[in-house]
Amino acid sequence: MTSPITVVKVGIADMNVVEAPHVIRTSGLGSCVGIVLYNPLKSIAGLAHIMLPEASLSKAGSLNKAKFADTAILELVNRLETLGLNKNTLLAKIAGGAQMFQFNGTSDIMRIGPRNVEAVKKTLQSLKINITGEDVGGNSGRTIEFSPLTHQLTVRTVNKGTHTI
Amino acid sequence: MSYFTNFSSLKLDVLREVGNIGAGNAATSLSKLLNKTIDMKVPDVQIVSFDEMMEMAGGSENIVAGVFLRLEGEITGSMFFVLPLEQANKFIQAMIGDPTINLDEQPYDEIALSALQELGNILSGSYLSSLSDFTNLFLYPSVPALAIDMVGAIVTYGLIELSQVSDYAIVINTQLSDKENMFSDEVNGHFFLLPDPDSFTTLFQSLGVMEDD
């Protein structure tokens, strides 16, 4: 007997958590970064899909924490802690942060991918969460899926096929 | 949602007209370029979440050819011309006059890419120049960039500015279809115009719509 495996979908500027045997996925990462937090001995994991590096960029009245690298990671850690995971045991896998278009322009927007990756790494470092796998940069869109059972992150791209990290 | 809730139906109508004029001119250019009848749907203007916007373009994993340009000048924003690969192939074949050329496999054919970039250039140029005439605003496009990838990865670039103030986007969306090759709705070409948040006031003023209209 096997229970059906469902895929928990995470949208843009969104986050969620998953427990094995289910898997968690986010699709169409371009300049956005997908961050998976997990404990190697447990079968619970969380995934956030961030768009922007820092919440200080927000000019909106209400803050969607899942949109920014710094606030999203903190929020995801909190959610995993309420599920019984210890912050000090968490590891991370990250993917995304591509530069989809090559522009000669000077605009900061065009560098948003690399800036997102930098912000994610900085926040993880400040929380002493190690990155065990990453597939960042480049110029391809990515769809990622994490299994909290195997702790493997499957990265699918249009141009370079599928691989796991 | 709050950022856009002050948009009256009059304002939405004005934006619809912007899409109508811009895409209408672009469709005419496309029709001349390919010597085919190109149909355009009545533009729709919607306030959508980012995820809903990806759904409008066939879902974030849908593989498309996307031409992206930044709009500069008195108003700023992002513009996309998104074509499903199947339709992009047809257009390229018609432009080059070679029915075997396509973008189905890597490495992409240089001539096909170049043709597609030029197509994006012409269409977005005619969209924006008619918009500029209509509003009397000084507008110029950046050099268009082309990518063949997942819609989600491409279109989020146009949401970066917007995402700093809102979780919703106001999208002026116009669908194109060509008469000889009827595709279902999901596989039609789309123009997306995403004005930056600061630009709406200028845009409305240029068309005589007051802040409280």
The residue in chain B having the minimum alpha-carbon distance to the alpha carbon of residue A52 is: B160
Convert the pLDDT of each residue in A126-157 to its tens digit: 999 999 999 999 888 999 999 999 999 999 99
**Candidate from A12, A31, A62 with C-beta closest to B51:** A12
**Residue B169 Cα, gap to closest chain A Cα (Å):** 13
A105 touches chain B (CB under 8 A): yes
Burial string for A69-78 (b: 16+ CB within 10 Å, else e) reads bbbbbbbbbe
A31 touches chain B (CB under 8 A): yes
Query: With contact defined as beta carbons under 8 Å apart, do A63 and A55 qualify?
Result: yes
| Chain centroid to CA A39 | 15
Q: Spell out the domain ranges in chain A.
A: 7-142
pLDDT tens, position by position, for chain B (213 residues)?
446 666 788 888 888 888 888 888 888 888 888 887 777 777 788 888 888 888 888 888 888 888 888 888 998 888 888 888 888 888 888 888 888 888 887 788 888 888 888 888 888 888 888 888 888 999 888 888 888 899 999 988 888 888 888 888 888 887 777 666 555 544 477 888 888 888 888 888 888 887 776
Q: Which residues of A touch B49 (CB under 8 A)?
A: 11
Handedness of CA A69, A5, A158, B124 (dihedral sign): negative
* Interface touch A100/B61, C-beta < 8 Å: no
Q: Spell out the domain ranges in chain B.
A: 2-206
Q: Which residues of A touch B150 (CB under 8 A)?
A: 27-28, 30, 141, 143, 158
A67 touches chain B (CB under 8 A): yes
CATH topology for B2-206 is Chemotaxis protein chec (3.40.1550)
State pTM to two decimals. 0.86
| DSSP letter for each residue of B78-92 | EEEEEEEHHHHHHHH
Q: A10, A32, A90, A95: which one is catalytic?
A: A32
Cα B154 to Cα A139, B45, B60, B82: the distances in Å are 10, 20, 9, 9
CATH class (in words) of the domain with range A7-142: alpha beta
